[in-house]
Structure 1
């Protein structure tokens, strides 16, 4: 691999890390998860049931659009908008990063079995004038991009589903979010305990359980041991807003999400091949030339 190619992987890799992590949370929220004022000492059945209903409804989502902002470990501040669909599986994120190792605007698209990362003119400098880098979802050796399959499958609804398992989930109070009347819930989740519970055999595993397991694995990879979660639930047990905070190996994680369109069609197109660098195709071409 040439020096230019290695540089491209490092630059776009840093951008992708911010996008993937930002895609799992959203706008800064009032009411800290650790603030227990006005809350009961132990979870009550009514509170747990209300949070579980919201989590169950979220697990049934096939598609979601949301605004995201916050702080990502090692990447500084991020903000933007994202949309994803599970069937068909597509993702599109448009993010802005600042105050970290890489700054500027960038995009991530997941289409079928490929991830496309675009960094605008910043990426074009190291991609020979092209604006997108294509990576195979199953590629385990592309400069540290192994595990893309696991990360791209995660979604905010699955993260919010961890709150019912908190030992101190509680009702914070009634709040208005962007004109919507909501009930604010909060709690702290022990990641190791959540991972242990996720491994218990429960017969046939649901898609929601699998998505929750993948979220827990990501937290473990980040070195997170404890999560502070806030959930704002609106009419019809729909999640309106979600916030997560934690201390990761590379620094603080504080990301929130404002849920927007739910279960509406999401269409994502792959960037033009003429504007895309495909390292896998180049390697295959080199292999053919070398016999």
Structure 2
């Protein structure tokens, strides 16, 4: 397989980032500690009475948003100099996570890799309970026996990426929009900022800081060795804390989430909008004859490398 094909194989792994960006780092289902509550009494910009306790308010948001089954999502993600992308689609979390997204790489080394391999930067991704598939386009198919789609199993990605891969697997299989709310609740650090307009909707803004490694470790089923490896991987990447901001509407439904942090390669920034709760997420597996397995592609590349050496 050509080097350009390998670049695009690696690139499509980042479709996982498009999905995990719809949720903050794994939050607690327990609702968090009341130690982070702050006095916030008075009136909002419209003159109405606001809830005094942001913790209590966010628990209502977690319950209402988590109780929904699906939603439209639209957002942008930047991961240092590695990549920037935008994504739009529909996700369903009623029975595991399924859905589809259109992902466009807009900058960074990943976008450069797409251009070098003849792609236009846009891919179609479909997500299922045990993995996902990505349509890599005609350029890839010309080098992969006519197959357009690459299939990824979460279990395979977990094996290849170590502790962070296992954590990612668990997150992707349990991603829901209310994860950002859970993260704030679990952090013990949350404040009500005020009432703001989000795409024509009056929404209440909450903000807090999350310790990424500690919260991910707390809410993942990793053993002691995996936890130690995970912390080292976060440290090597320069990831420590994230600021999480969420906006919720009058019905206690999440309408916007922003995560900001710092990596060794630059800024980590994710913004996601949620709308049309209850939208049906229709997703089908592509034809098997038009799909190649990611693990098999890696074996082929390793074999070609061994033969060349």
TM-score (normalizing by structure 1): 0.72
Q: Does 1:92 align with 2:89?
A: no
Query: Do the aligned partners of residues 141 and 22 (structure 1) sit closer, same or farther apart at CA in structure 2, a change above 3 Å counting?
Result: closer
Matched residue, 2:56: 49
The aligned length equals 250
In the TM superposition, residue 140 of structure 1 has moved relative to its aligned partner by 5.2
Please list the CA deviations of residues 74-114 of structure 1 after superposition, one character each: whole Å capped at 9, or x if unmatched: 53221121322232642312110121222201122123534
Please state which structure has a larger fraction of its residues in helix: 2
Matched residue, 2:240: 225
Where does the alignment leave 5 or more consecutive residues of structure 1 unmatched?
27-40, 201-215, 284-291
Q: Is the 8 A contact 2:66 2:177 kept in 1?
A: no
Which residue among 104, 107, 120 is the counterpart of 2:137?
A: 120
Counterparts of 1:199 and 1:135 in 2: how far apart (Å)? 21
Matched residue, 1:22: 18
Q: Does 1:188 align with 2:209?
A: yes
**Bigger shift: 8-17 or 263-272?**
8-17
3-state SS in 1 of match to 2:267: strand
Counterparts of 1:144 and 1:91 in 2: how far apart (Å)? 24
In the TM superposition, residue 258 of structure 1 has moved relative to its aligned partner by 0.5
Which residue among 161, 169, 183 is the counterpart of 1:149?
A: 169
Matched residue, 1:287: none
**Bigger shift: 93-102 or 107-116?**
107-116
TM-score (normalizing by structure 2): 0.68
Query: Do the aligned partners of residues 114 and 22 (structure 1) sit closer, same or farther apart at CA in structure 2, a change above 3 Å counting?
Result: closer
After superposition, where does 1:1-291 map in structure 2 within 5 Å? 3-4=1-2, 8-17=5-14, 19-25=15-21, 43-44=38-39, 46-86=53-93, 87=95, 89-103=97-111, 104-139=121-156, 147=166, 149-153=169-173, 154-195=175-216, 198=219, 220=234, 224-278=239-293
**Bigger shift: 189-198 or 245-254?**
189-198
Counterparts of 1:138 and 1:276 in 2: how far apart (Å)? 18
Query: Do the aligned partners of residues 167 and 143 (structure 1) sit closer, same or farther apart at CA in structure 2, a change above 3 Å counting?
Result: closer
Counterparts of 1:258 and 1:81 in 2: how far apart (Å)? 9
Q: Is the 8 A contact 1:121 1:131 kept in 2?
A: yes
Counterparts of 1:76 and 1:165 in 2: how far apart (Å)? 29
Please list the CA deviations of residues 264-291 of structure 1 after superposition, one character each: whole Å capped at 9, or x if unmatched: 33110111223222366798xxxxxxxx
CA RMSD of aligned residues (A): 3.5
Where does the alignment leave 5 or more consecutive residues of structure 2 unmatched?
23-35, 40-51, 112-120, 222-229, 300-309
In the TM superposition, residue 71 of structure 1 has moved relative to its aligned partner by 1.1
